[in-house]
Amino acid sequence: MSTPAGRARDAEQARLVVRFMAEGAALVDPPVLQPAETLLDLYGEDIRARAYVTRDPLAGELMLRPDFTVPVVQLHIAGGAAAARYVYAGKVFRVQEQGVERPSEYDQVGFEIFDAADPAASDAAVFALFAEVLAPLGLRAATGDIGVLMAAVQGLSTTDRRKAALSRHIWRPRRFRALLDRFGGRSPVPPTRAALLARVAAGEDVAAAAGPMIGRRSRDEIAARVDALVADAAEPPVSAGEVELLDEILGLRDKAPAALARLRDVAVDLPSVSDAVDRLAARLEALAARGVDVAALDFEGSYGRTQMEYYDGFVFGFYAETRPDLPPVATGGRYDALTRALGGPAAVPAVGGVIRPALTLELAA
């Protein structure tokens, strides 16, 4: 039996769906149960602690969808379209931390654009649409660009192994910071690793001395890992100048035009970010062309690092500043590489976002 609150929520969800369909989006309805293996491969085992996982005798391990993006990408791949727009609505499921008074089951309404023609225009189209829909609520918009940070890491004068480790932990700020400090010589080698390296330096075969094999790694795998640690210890630290440039990107908080100017300065000393900065500039031009006041738009160099790990470019969110107890009302971003990761023939440029209709209702009351 429906309640007044339930009917209001359904009406708000339907209103958002109709608005997004007016932008040419096709309505899709991905299954609630998703193959857990696919999501774990994409997000890592970290997602397991935040998801509801079950097992089916025939289908194997399944997960209540933690978001819609992955199944929408799979639908797009199956459809074979080069360009498309989608809208969806329904529940997602997230395990909340103990003591956090937030629902573990809530509704999302989302809008996605798959189009290779003009990524900056697609970014602007999604953001401007969300800004228009949410304008009556007086929310603060925050933006960032994971692509700038990714490009900065790849431009470091260090080994591919170190750059891969930093790239893998971009979405884990504390781990990323610890690695950067260690690779830059700002923090000591962990005691257990230092002891291991000392044993190797003394001529000990630590793999052979490990005793019976009780884990999943073979003795050869352990030996290869030890060799990698020894090789890394012999590498010179990342230069102080490059660490400072990364710190400047990570600590950047300014209005978008000023942030762009500062990033252009960074690009002089770290040329690997130049293309990402050019994409940011093109996005700001596209946003301005759609009537967005980019001079008042906030940009944060670290924004998006605690969201889903498939974002690899533009990221954004809308927040109720007077209600710090609430999660973001809307979030989104660009995820060009996700299609390839899910088995598509190539990365299809894609950008989108989601709105939580229960929050728009609460803030409008």
The total of other beta-carbon atoms located within 10 Å of residue 194's CB is 12
Question: Are 44 and 86 part of one and the same domain?
Answer: yes
Burial letters 258-282, b for 16+ CB under 10 A, else e:
ebbebbeebbeebeebbebbebbbb
> Could you tell me if 259 and 144 lie in one domain?
yes
CB neighbourhood size of 218 (10 A)? 11
Please give the backbone phi and psi of residue 309, each rounded to the nearest 5 degrees, phi first.
Answer: -80, 0
| Percent of the chain's residues with pLDDT above 70 | 90
- Shared-domain flag, residues 158 and 301: yes
pLDDT at residue 1 is higher than 60: no
Q: Is 56 helix (H, G, I), strand (E, B) or coil?
A: strand
Give me the mean pLDDT over the 14-38 stretch: 93
Residue 14 sits in the same domain as residue 36: yes
In a domain, 133, yes or no: no
**Number of domains making up the chain:** 3
- Do 303 and 313 lie in a common domain? yes
pLDDT at 192: 75
CA distance 307 to 331: 9
**Burial degree of 188 (CB within 10 A; 0-12, 13-18, 19+):** exposed
For range 353-359, the mean pLDDT: 96
Whole-number pLDDT of residue 154 = 97
- Judge whether 343 lies within some domain: no
Crossing angle of helices 240-250/256-269, nearest 10°?
170
Report how far residue 213's alpha carbon sits from residue 324's, in angstroms, rounded to the nearest whole number: 50
Q: Is 105 or 5 the better-scoring residue by pLDDT?
A: 105
Reported as a pLDDT band with limits 50, 70 and 90, residue 115 is very high
Q: For 156, which DSSP code? A: S
pLDDT of residue 206: 64
Q: Do 362 and 274 reside in the same domain of the chain?
A: no
| Inside any domain, residue 263 | yes
Q: What pLDDT is recorded for position 283?
A: 98
Please report which confidence band the pLDDT of residue 38 belongs to, taking 50, 70 and 90 as the band edges.
Answer: confident
Domain boundary among 207, 236, 265: 236
Q: If you average pLDDT over residues 154-168, what whole number do you get?
A: 94
Residue 45 lies in a domain: yes
User: Which alpha helices (DSSP H) does the chain contain, by range?
Assistant: 4-21, 36-43, 69-79, 119-134, 146-154, 160-168, 173-183, 191-201, 219-233, 240-250, 256-269, 274-289, 338-341, 357-364
Question: Does one domain contain both 165 and 291?
Answer: yes
CATH of the domain at 253: 3.30.930.10
pLDDT of residue 233: 74
Residues 94 and 161 in one domain: no
* Residue ranges making up the domain that contains 213: 189-236
Residue 340: predicted pLDDT = 78
- pTM of the predicted model as reported, rounded to 2 decimal places: 0.89
Ranges 199-208, 216-225, 265-274, most confident: 265-274
